[in-house]
Structure 1
Amino acid sequence: MQLLSSGIRNLRSFSSGANFHSSLRIHLPRRRFSSSPTCIEKETLSGYKSSKYYPNRHSTTWLCSDVANAFKTLKILTANDHVSREAQVFGHLRRVSMGSQNPGKYCVRRAEDILVIPGTNGNKHQCLVFEPLGPNLLEFASQRKKRSGNLFRIDEVRWMTIYFLHALDFLHENGVVHTDLKLDNIQLTLPDNEKEILDAFVSAAEAENPSTIRTNADGAQVYTSHEMVQDELTFPILCDLGSAKLGKPPHEGLVQALPYRAPEVMLGASWDSKIDIWSLGVLIWELYFDSNGHWRHGKIERMELEDRVEMTMDMPLFFDFLRSMLRWDPRERLSASELLKHPWLQLY
């Protein structure tokens, strides 16, 4: 289901949902229709089936303006049990954050409103209303590398890690396991001139280059999206709770993207919030070592961490920090609150 408001454009085809607000104006902007046989957007995914993606598999995310000309992000969820859990988790976090003193509540994306709208076939779609954010870390890293050839310095990795841990501490304290921690589920806040940036994005991206709608062989419509480009490394916000697990551990089942998957999940054992700690350890390793070309998947010889990179004074503490998260036995992994006290983070 695609609903368009004034100044709306498809930001990204995320794997979760979107939402709606009663004050939003609904207009259809001008569109370009394409009959090109070339696959675009989600059609390029190996598991794409048009019958399961309308308009996306679990949701579609849109940038909209309301009647006060304030920008909002809408995440419209498909009508199934999996995505309804995301609205449930966001609702739970909204309630507990009201009385929480945990600073991590500001490091997790907050749903301003959770509403329900009727679909064309009688289904009801849950809608999440958010403040707009910038690109995710995966997109930002790619953009930065194209511009300058550089990615993340160790001091940048350190201060981002503090935000990641505060976010996880807040989630875990309130009975939520994210289960899908990865670079593309962490978005950056927009710079201080947010309104100016979004106005420019709308006018340049859509007015000058309207989104294309392609009708594929099955008759399904596929929308192109516009990429949000950002130069400044701003505050990271943990997003996308579509796979989050709410409730008392232990939990069971296959979760997490494969590169970030904890050993206990791979072995089919029960698991708890410590799987997020493992994923974060992999993510931090990826931010600094992998993104900077210090190693390559499939070409890793058996070496000590200290032999892989050029050593600086704080590297031994960094390695100890990583080892505190990447323990095979989840009982030996430090919690988010314990990791926040690690000496490596005190260097910031």
Structure 2
Amino acid sequence: MASQPNLVPREFPTPGFVKLNHSEKIEEETLPFYEHQPDHEMAISEHLKNSNHHFGKQLVRLVMDSFEVVGPQGKHTCLLYQPLGMNLAEFRNWFPDNKFPKGLFQRTIQLVLISVAFTHQNNEDEMKHPIARKVLPDCNIYYSRPMLVNEALCVLFDLGEARLGIQNQNGDIMPGMDWDCEVDIWSGGIMEDRILDDEQHLTEIFSLLGTPPPEFLIRNDNCFKYWDKQGNWKGNITIPEQSLEMRFGQYDGEDKEPFLNFLRRILRWLPEERPTAEELTYDDFLMQPLLVASGLCLASLTRLIEE
């Protein structure tokens, strides 16, 4: 069999694009913790590639390849992925009042949970419309190219903070204590508006969940910076007056209690009290459309799926 000929490298246009100020930080460069250290994400991706088959595997965006370029700060490793469309925050802005329809929200959360369960268990337009970039003396830094809306499934991506193994981990993800894979369930239920402040984070949690149990407080001495031994708040930030019911007032009637119960299963002080991603996939609220359409009870449907 004859070997395939080498492909001729494409010659991209040099004019016709917006030239950005090279001193202005863009996209990931604006993040305070941004560094070019992809080795961890590559290792996680390789581990997941070699895992057993699981439906959620197709819902996780894994590294396809990598290469190095030389930039103003030295060598920079570039990761190659399948292209994605818009993220959920951008997609949400297409809907009235920036809110997902209930059915779309339910299906999306289920798909995300399936992809998380997997991780726990295991056409170029540059020719016609060059993307904006910063032109440096020895390299170019491109803006990410926006993708059109399509009918593909949502996927889980950005594994830079993922960890191998199920043992307790540490790091500033859940203030006050070590964490394990159950932190992903917790993250699915919180909204922080990108505020990276432990005390602000804890006041929001305290206002929504109430007094933490003693078992939570004694696991890490850092907790006593914010609570006394009886669980009374002693931080410097005032606890906001709010509740889960107030925060999610847009749900009413038959939707309100199932949705609040869904959140209450997630937002538990103690990690061991939270359901697994797979268990949460079959929550009454997420299964509501299918149950209504089929007339089945949840227990019956779960048995059918398992069989």
Q: TM-score, normalised by structure 1?
A: 0.56
* Structure 2 residue 227 is the aligned partner of structure 1 residue 243: no
Query: Distance in 2 between the 1:85 and 1:126 partners?
Result: 12
Give the C-alpha shift of residue 330 in structure 1.
1.1
Shift of 1:274: 1.0
1:168 maps to 2:168: no
Given that 2:18 and 2:131 are in contact with CA atoms closer than 8 Å, whether structure 1 keeps it comes out as no
Q: Retained in 2: the 8 A contact 1:34–1:215? A: no
Equivalent runs, 1:264-283 vs 2, <5 Å: 265-267=174-176, 269-282=177-190
- Match for 2:118: what amino acid? F
Paired with 1:119 and 1:304, the residues of 2 have a C-alpha distance of 48
C-alpha distance in structure 1 between counterparts of 2:78 and 2:134, whole Å: 25
| Unpaired stretches in structure 2, ≥5 consecutive residues | 1-5, 195-237, 290-307
* Structure with higher strand content: 1
Amino acid at match of 2:182: K
Asked if 2 retains the 8 angstrom alpha-carbon contact of 1:40 and 1:224, the reply is no
Residue 250 of structure 2 is aligned to residue 302 of structure 1: no
Distance between the aligned counterparts of 1:35 and 1:45, measured in 2? 17
| 1:262 matched residue in structure 2 | none
Distance (whole Å) between structure 1 residues aligned to residue 27 and residue 108 of structure 2 = 33
Quote the Cα distance in structure 2 between the aligned partners of 1:233 and 1:301: 40
Amino acid aligned to 1:278 = W
Instruction: Give 1:10-21 correspondences, 5 Å limit.
Output: none
Closer/same/farther in 2, CA of residues 93 and 312 from structure 1, 3 Å limit: same
Counterpart of 1:320? 261
Q: Which residue of 2 aligns with 1:84?
A: 39
**TM-aligned CA distance change 1:156 to 1:37, over 3 Å:** closer
Query: C-alpha separation between the residues in 2 aligned to 1:213 and 1:120?
Result: 16
Tell me the CA shift for residue 153 of structure 1.
0.9
- Aligned CA distance change for structure 1 residues 332 and 150 (closer, same or farther; 3 Å): same
Task: Report the aligned-residue RMSD.
Answer: 3.9
How far apart in 2 are the matches of 1:248 and 1:43? 32
Partner of 2:55: 103
Give the whole-Å Cα distance in 1 for the aligned partners of 2:283 and 2:28: 43
Distance 1:150 1:271, change over 3 A: closer
8 Å contact 2:131–2:143 — kept in the other structure? yes
Query: 1:40 offset after TM fit, Å?
Result: 5.3
Alignment partner of 1:314: what SS?
helix
Cross-structure match for 1:178: none
User: Quick one: distance in 2 between partners of 1:129 and 1:38?
Assistant: 24
Mapped contact 2:69–2:78 kept (Cα < 8 A): no
C-alpha distance in structure 1 between counterparts of 2:26 and 2:140, whole Å? 11
Structure 1 contact 41–222 (Cα < 8 Å) conserved: no
Q: Identify the residue that residue 93 of structure 1 maps to in structure 2.
A: 48
* Structure 1 unmatched runs, 5+: 1-22, 59-81, 175-197, 256-264, 287-297
1:254-290 CA deviation, whole Å, 9 max, x = no partner? 24xxxxxxxxx211x211011100111126x99xxxx
**SS of alignment partner, residue 338 of structure 1:** helix
Gap change, CA 1:152 and 1:300, over 3 Å in 2: farther
Residues 1:340 and 2:281 are matched in the alignment: yes
- Contact 1:275/1:330 (8 A) holds in 2: yes
Against the structure 1 CA distance between its residues 37 and 119, is the aligned structure 2 distance closer, same or farther, given a 3 Å change threshold?
closer
- Once structures 1 and 2 are overlaid, which stretch shifts more, 246-255 or 154-163? 246-255
Is 1:134 aligned with 2:52? no
- Say if 1:214 and 1:315 are closer, same or farther in 2 by CA, change over 3 A: same
Match of 1:229 in 2: 148
How many pairs were matched up?
237
Q: How does 1:248-267 map to 2 (within 5 A)?
A: 248-255=166-173, 265-267=174-176
Question: Partner of 1:3 in structure 2?
Answer: none
What TM-score does the superposition give when structure 2 sets the normalisation length?
A: 0.63
Letter in 2 for 1:321: F
1:41-60 paired onto structure 2 within 5 Å: 42=26, 57-58=35-36
Residue 188 of structure 2 aligns to a residue whose secondary structure is helix
